[in-house]
Protein backbone atom coordinates (compact mmCIF):
# COMPACT_ATOMS: atom_id res chain seq x y z
CA UNK A 1 0.00 0.00 0.00
CA UNK A 2 0.91 3.65 -0.44
CA UNK A 3 0.54 5.94 2.57
CA UNK A 4 -0.46 9.53 1.73
CA UNK A 5 0.37 12.04 4.47
CA UNK A 6 0.01 15.80 4.27
CA UNK A 7 0.20 19.02 6.25
CA UNK A 8 2.35 17.69 9.08
CA UNK A 9 3.08 21.27 10.19
CA UNK A 10 5.96 20.40 12.52
CA UNK A 11 5.96 23.08 15.17
CA UNK A 12 2.26 22.37 15.79
CA UNK A 13 2.46 18.57 15.76
CA UNK A 14 0.56 16.26 18.11
CA UNK A 15 2.85 13.57 19.61
CA UNK A 16 -0.02 11.09 19.87
CA UNK A 17 -0.59 11.30 16.09
CA UNK A 18 3.12 10.84 15.37
CA UNK A 19 3.19 7.71 17.52
CA UNK A 20 0.03 6.39 15.87
CA UNK A 21 1.49 6.79 12.37
CA UNK A 22 4.66 5.00 13.45
CA UNK A 23 2.53 2.16 14.78
CA UNK A 24 0.49 2.05 11.56
CA UNK A 25 3.69 1.63 9.54
CA UNK A 26 4.84 -1.17 11.81
CA UNK A 27 1.51 -2.98 11.57
CA UNK A 28 0.79 -2.59 7.84
CA UNK A 29 2.67 -3.42 4.62
CA UNK A 30 3.41 0.19 3.64
CA UNK A 31 5.42 0.11 0.41
CA UNK A 32 5.98 3.85 0.08
CA UNK A 33 4.92 7.17 1.57
CA UNK A 34 3.92 10.36 -0.28
CA UNK A 35 3.89 13.61 1.70
CA UNK A 36 2.08 16.43 -0.11
CA UNK A 37 3.62 19.49 1.49
CA UNK A 38 3.49 21.72 4.56
CA UNK A 39 6.07 19.70 6.42
CA UNK A 40 6.62 22.59 8.83
CA UNK A 41 4.66 25.45 10.32
CA UNK A 42 7.19 28.25 9.74
CA UNK A 43 10.07 26.72 7.73
CA UNK A 44 12.40 26.81 10.72
CA UNK A 45 15.55 24.70 10.97
CA UNK A 46 14.46 22.59 13.94
CA UNK A 47 10.99 22.05 12.47
CA UNK A 48 12.56 20.58 9.34
CA UNK A 49 14.95 18.54 11.50
CA UNK A 50 12.08 17.10 13.54
CA UNK A 51 10.11 16.30 10.40
CA UNK A 52 13.07 14.59 8.75
CA UNK A 53 13.72 12.49 11.87
CA UNK A 54 10.06 11.45 12.02
CA UNK A 55 9.86 10.43 8.36
CA UNK A 56 13.10 8.45 8.65
CA UNK A 57 11.67 6.64 11.68
CA UNK A 58 8.76 5.28 9.63
CA UNK A 59 10.90 2.93 7.57
CA UNK A 60 9.46 2.88 4.01
CA UNK A 61 10.91 5.08 1.26
CA UNK A 62 9.16 8.41 0.89
CA UNK A 63 8.67 11.29 -1.52
CA UNK A 64 8.02 14.84 -0.33
CA UNK A 65 7.08 18.10 -2.02
CA UNK A 66 7.13 21.55 -0.41
CA UNK A 67 4.04 23.38 0.78
CA UNK A 68 3.45 27.09 1.20
CA UNK A 69 4.42 26.82 4.89
CA UNK A 70 7.82 25.40 3.90
CA UNK A 71 9.17 28.75 2.73
CA UNK A 72 9.77 31.70 5.10
CA UNK A 73 6.81 33.95 5.76
CA UNK A 74 8.34 36.65 7.94
CA UNK A 75 12.03 36.52 6.94
CA UNK A 76 11.68 38.64 3.81
CA UNK A 77 15.28 38.36 2.54
CA UNK A 78 15.28 34.56 2.72
CA UNK A 79 11.86 34.40 1.07
CA UNK A 80 13.03 36.59 -1.81
CA UNK A 81 16.53 35.26 -2.43
CA UNK A 82 16.56 31.65 -1.18
CA UNK A 83 13.06 30.53 -0.15
CA UNK A 84 13.74 26.78 -0.32
CA UNK A 85 17.15 26.80 1.37
CA UNK A 86 16.12 24.94 4.52
CA UNK A 87 13.78 22.58 2.70
CA UNK A 88 16.55 21.58 0.31
CA UNK A 89 19.06 21.24 3.15
CA UNK A 90 17.00 18.39 4.57
CA UNK A 91 15.12 16.99 1.57
CA UNK A 92 17.18 17.86 -1.50
CA UNK A 93 15.47 18.36 -4.86
CA UNK A 94 12.18 20.21 -5.02
CA UNK A 95 10.87 17.69 -7.55
CA UNK A 96 11.79 14.03 -7.54
CA UNK A 97 10.63 10.56 -8.56
CA UNK A 98 10.07 7.55 -6.32
CA UNK A 99 9.63 4.17 -7.99
CA UNK A 100 8.72 1.07 -6.00
CA UNK A 101 7.37 -2.35 -6.92
CA UNK A 102 3.83 -1.12 -7.56
CA UNK A 103 3.98 2.69 -7.56
CA UNK A 104 5.60 5.40 -9.66
CA UNK A 105 5.42 8.75 -7.85
CA UNK A 106 6.30 12.12 -9.39
CA UNK A 107 6.69 15.18 -7.18
CA UNK A 108 5.71 18.63 -8.49
CA UNK A 109 6.63 21.88 -6.77
CA UNK A 110 3.57 24.17 -6.89
CA UNK A 111 5.01 26.79 -4.51
CA UNK A 112 6.24 30.21 -5.61
CA UNK A 113 7.91 32.79 -3.38
CA UNK A 114 5.72 35.63 -4.63
CA UNK A 115 2.51 33.90 -3.50
CA UNK A 116 1.39 33.16 0.03
CA UNK A 117 -1.09 30.34 -0.58
CA UNK A 118 -1.82 30.21 -4.30
CA UNK A 119 -0.43 27.27 -6.23
CA UNK A 120 1.32 27.55 -9.59
CA UNK A 121 2.56 25.11 -12.20
CA UNK A 122 4.26 26.09 -15.45
CA UNK A 123 3.99 24.80 -18.98
CA UNK A 124 7.52 23.47 -18.59
CA UNK A 125 6.54 21.49 -15.50
CA UNK A 126 3.51 20.07 -17.27
CA UNK A 127 5.68 18.88 -20.15
CA UNK A 128 8.39 17.46 -17.87
CA UNK A 129 5.87 15.45 -15.88
CA UNK A 130 4.28 14.19 -19.10
CA UNK A 131 7.65 12.90 -20.28
CA UNK A 132 8.26 11.18 -16.94
CA UNK A 133 4.84 9.54 -17.09
CA UNK A 134 5.49 8.41 -20.64
CA UNK A 135 8.74 6.76 -19.51
CA UNK A 136 7.17 5.09 -16.46
CA UNK A 137 6.49 1.32 -16.49
CA UNK A 138 2.95 0.62 -17.66
CA UNK A 139 2.31 -1.92 -14.90
CA UNK A 140 2.68 0.56 -12.04
CA UNK A 141 0.30 3.10 -10.54
CA UNK A 142 1.41 6.47 -11.90
CA UNK A 143 0.71 9.16 -9.33
CA UNK A 144 1.59 12.86 -9.21
CA UNK A 145 2.07 14.62 -5.86
CA UNK A 146 1.63 18.40 -5.40
CA UNK A 147 0.58 20.61 -2.49
CA UNK A 148 -2.29 22.79 -3.72
CA UNK A 149 -5.37 21.07 -5.13
CA UNK A 150 -6.22 21.28 -8.83
CA UNK A 151 -9.94 21.14 -8.06
CA UNK A 152 -12.15 22.12 -5.14
CA UNK A 153 -15.87 21.57 -4.65
CA UNK A 154 -18.43 24.25 -3.87
CA UNK A 155 -17.92 23.66 -0.16
CA UNK A 156 -14.33 24.88 -0.61
CA UNK A 157 -15.17 27.85 -2.83
CA UNK A 158 -13.12 30.18 -0.64
CA UNK A 159 -9.90 28.44 -1.71
CA UNK A 160 -10.59 28.12 -5.44
CA UNK A 161 -8.11 30.98 -5.85
CA UNK A 162 -5.35 28.68 -4.55
CA UNK A 163 -5.74 26.19 -7.43
CA UNK A 164 -3.09 26.47 -10.18
CA UNK A 165 -4.50 28.15 -13.29
CA UNK A 166 -3.09 25.43 -15.55
CA UNK A 167 -4.31 22.56 -13.38
CA UNK A 168 -6.99 21.36 -15.78
CA UNK A 169 -4.58 21.41 -18.74
CA UNK A 170 -2.06 19.45 -16.70
CA UNK A 171 -4.61 16.80 -15.78
CA UNK A 172 -5.69 16.32 -19.38
CA UNK A 173 -2.11 15.88 -20.58
CA UNK A 174 -1.00 13.73 -17.65
CA UNK A 175 -4.14 11.59 -17.84
CA UNK A 176 -3.35 10.72 -21.45
CA UNK A 177 0.09 9.58 -20.30
CA UNK A 178 -1.41 7.21 -17.74
CA UNK A 179 -1.60 9.25 -14.53
CA UNK A 180 -4.31 7.70 -12.36
CA UNK A 181 -4.26 10.17 -9.48
CA UNK A 182 -2.93 13.47 -8.17
CA UNK A 183 -2.37 13.69 -4.41
CA UNK A 184 -2.76 17.01 -2.58
CA UNK A 185 -3.01 18.61 0.84
CA UNK A 186 -3.42 22.30 1.76
CA UNK A 187 -7.12 22.25 2.70
CA UNK A 188 -6.80 20.04 5.81
CA UNK A 189 -9.84 18.15 4.53
CA UNK A 190 -10.29 14.71 3.00
CA UNK A 191 -11.94 14.33 -0.39
CA UNK A 192 -11.67 12.39 -3.64
CA UNK A 193 -13.02 13.29 -7.09
CA UNK A 194 -12.82 11.67 -10.51
CA UNK A 195 -11.71 14.63 -12.61
CA UNK A 196 -11.98 12.66 -15.83
CA UNK A 197 -15.74 13.01 -15.33
CA UNK A 198 -15.84 16.47 -13.74
CA UNK A 199 -13.45 18.09 -16.24
CA UNK A 200 -14.32 15.77 -19.15
CA UNK A 201 -10.66 15.01 -19.79
CA UNK A 202 -11.48 12.48 -22.51
CA UNK A 203 -9.15 9.79 -21.23
CA UNK A 204 -10.15 6.14 -20.94
CA UNK A 205 -9.66 5.77 -17.18
CA UNK A 206 -10.41 7.69 -13.97
CA UNK A 207 -8.02 10.47 -12.95
CA UNK A 208 -8.53 10.93 -9.24
CA UNK A 209 -8.02 14.16 -7.33
CA UNK A 210 -7.17 13.05 -3.79
CA UNK A 211 -7.14 15.50 -0.87
CA UNK A 212 -5.62 14.56 2.47
CA UNK A 213 -6.35 16.15 5.83
CA UNK A 214 -3.67 17.13 8.28
CA UNK A 215 -2.04 13.99 9.60
CA UNK A 216 -0.40 15.39 12.72
CA UNK A 217 -1.19 19.06 13.38
CA UNK A 218 -3.61 20.55 15.88
CA UNK A 219 -4.55 23.07 13.13
CA UNK A 220 -7.78 21.27 12.25
CA UNK A 221 -10.45 22.78 9.98
CA UNK A 222 -14.21 22.44 10.13
CA UNK A 223 -13.83 20.04 13.07
CA UNK A 224 -12.40 17.32 10.82
CA UNK A 225 -10.12 14.91 12.70
CA UNK A 226 -6.48 14.25 11.91
CA UNK A 227 -6.33 11.86 8.99
CA UNK A 228 -4.33 10.33 6.18
CA UNK A 229 -5.06 8.35 3.02
CA UNK A 230 -4.02 4.94 1.77
CA UNK A 231 -3.85 3.67 -1.80
CA UNK A 232 -4.21 -0.11 -1.86
CA UNK A 233 -2.60 -2.47 -4.35
CA UNK A 234 -6.06 -2.86 -5.88
CA UNK A 235 -6.12 0.86 -6.68
CA UNK A 236 -8.64 1.72 -3.97
CA UNK A 237 -8.44 4.91 -1.91
CA UNK A 238 -9.10 4.72 1.82
CA UNK A 239 -9.15 7.39 4.50
CA UNK A 240 -7.99 6.78 8.07
CA UNK A 241 -8.98 9.14 10.88
CA UNK A 242 -7.47 9.55 14.33
CA UNK A 243 -9.51 8.00 17.12
CA UNK A 244 -8.70 9.98 20.26
CA UNK A 245 -9.98 7.32 22.65
CA UNK A 246 -7.99 4.54 21.00
CA UNK A 247 -4.97 6.78 20.23
CA UNK A 248 -4.73 5.24 16.78
CA UNK A 249 -5.81 5.80 13.18
CA UNK A 250 -8.83 3.77 12.15
CA UNK A 251 -10.46 3.25 8.76
CA UNK A 252 -13.07 5.95 8.23
CA UNK A 253 -16.57 4.59 8.55
CA UNK A 254 -15.59 1.65 10.75
CA UNK A 255 -17.15 1.60 14.24
132/186 Cα distance (integer angstroms): 25
235/2 Cα distance (integer angstroms): 10
93 near 134, Cβ under 8 Å?
no
Average pLDDT over residues 201-228: 94
Average pLDDT value over all residues in the chain: 93
Give this prediction's pTM: 0.94
244/16 Cα distance (integer angstroms): 9
pLDDT value for 174: 97
158 near 128, Cβ under 8 Å?
no
Residue 148 has pLDDT above 90, yes or no: yes
Inter-CA distances, 202 with 136, 196, 207, Å: 21, 7, 10
pLDDT value for 203: 92
| Rama region for 202: left / alpha / beta (φ>0; ψ in -120 to 50; rest) | left
Strand 179-184 to 103-107 pairing? unpaired
Amino acid sequence: MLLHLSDLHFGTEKPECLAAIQKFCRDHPVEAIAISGDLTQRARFFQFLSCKSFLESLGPPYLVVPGNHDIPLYHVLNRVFNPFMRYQLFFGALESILETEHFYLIGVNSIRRRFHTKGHISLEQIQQVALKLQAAPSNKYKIVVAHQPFYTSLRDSHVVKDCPVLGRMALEIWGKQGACAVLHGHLHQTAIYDLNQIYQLNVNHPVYEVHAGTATSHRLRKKEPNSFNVVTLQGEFQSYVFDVKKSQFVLKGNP
